[in-house]
A and B are shown apart, each in its own frame.
Chain A
């Protein structure tokens, strides 16, 4: 990948090559940062994965604009994740300067209703996989990869208007299938 923009596009798609490229380019920086703050090898690996997760979630948001180098964003995210992880022991640390980055990854595992969430995820993914191939692709690219209609149209070789209609129809199928799910009828999900 030659430029940051190209890397950004590939990261948005969740391309494994892009992830690998970031490991090779930025792991050392995160290792040095977390290492300096007292983290061990396991912490470093965890923080790096979480950093990638938060980064990709950020860049998939429609309003995201790249205003700094990807390495700078990763540095800020990794630092915040580490501080957040250790905040109980480091109450004096001020993280305000970087609070633009949500800490969704770390928070999630701690949140309640974990099993219910896992059940819902399982039902959604099973039903997506039961859709016909075209619908499956449209739903995955639109809702799981968070790609824009224009990018989905380009990726699948259809017109923009076709994709908009297709997305709505596929979502209607998925809705129908999920709402019929016996597991959901008695659960407050």
Chain B
């Protein structure tokens, strides 16, 4: 049987951690040394067995949690879905009450419009998105302008400016790559996450954008209203939760200082009329 050092080499060989020369030398030695060859085969079986056992344990652990949740009725007839919605609704109770009150008032005014055109066409999500979505260039110009002359050593600002410049130039694949790297380097930076999400929109990865915008739409930072606006538009396009969508546009429409105020009111109106 091989000694401890040999087993270290066997593991390196089996895990593919050796460079080409080492590997060739090891293979040559196995050809000449029956004990080493046998120990390597047995060790391969042991490590393989451990990996399979790890998979089995993981599946069992997940299965156990799944079964417990099932016993609790989590999946029953879509109750998992309902449960989550209810939790969200509880959290947003006050906001929804406010929305409901406003909708009643607004609905009275819209009733006349409904009566006139008498059409209840389904929402054309693609059209609504296309009419309202445009790449965020003006805000970028402001940011890029404000960054001004910065030292290349001021890593974050410099890299962000570079990435935003790519976005502004329409080089969205590059901006996505740069912003993904920046997001890794500076995690939890809302500004970086927002522009990363915008790049995801431009590269047609809408779900990734939604996942980034959701927490940003409730985060306390300067571009929160932008996050709400783009999240709302994406939810329309992806035909996702209409309550959440209306909630977003309602809050923008109620904020007189928001640059999206009027456009949000218009969208809200369309969503109400064409539901």
Contacts and interface: CB of A to CB of B under 8 A. Distances in A.
Bound together = yes
Interface of A: 14, 16, 19-20, 23-24, 27-28, 31-32, 41, 45, 48-49, 52-53, 56-57, 65, 67-69, 71-72, 75, 104-105, 108, 117, 120-121, 123-125, 128, 139, 143-146, 168, 171-172, 174-175, 178-179, 184, 189
B55 interface: yes
Nearest to A51: B62
Contact of A75 (B43, B66, B211): B211
Given A67-B183, A120-B49, A175-B46, A144 B65 contact: no
Nearest to A176: B1
B57 A123 contact: no
The prevalent SS among residues of B at the interface is helix
Given A20-B68, A68-B180, 14 more contacts: A19-B62, A20-B69, A23-B65, A28-B80, A28-B84, A31-B80, A31-B81, A49-B62, A57-B55, A69-B212, A72-B207, A72-B211, A124-B53, A125-B57
A174 B62 contact: no
Contacts of A121: 49, 52-53, 56
A103 to B, nearest CB: 13
Interface of B: 4, 7, 42-43, 45-46, 48-59, 61-66, 68-69, 74-75, 78, 80-81, 84-85, 180, 183-184, 207-208, 211-212, 240
Nearest to A139: B50
A120 B65 contact: no
A172 B11 CA distance: 13
Contacts of A16: 61, 64-65
**6 closest residue pairs by CB, A with B:** A124-B49, A143-B50, A19-B65, A144-B54, A120-B49, A124-B53
Contacts of A143: 50-51, 53-54
A181 B8 CA distance: 23
A57 B208 CA distance: 21
Contacts of B48: 120
Contact of A71 (B57, B75, B211): B211
Nearest to A32: B240
Nearest to A19: B65
A29 B42 CA distance: 44
B211 A128 contact: no
Contacts of B54: 143-146
A168 B180 CA distance: 39
A14 B211 CA distance: 24
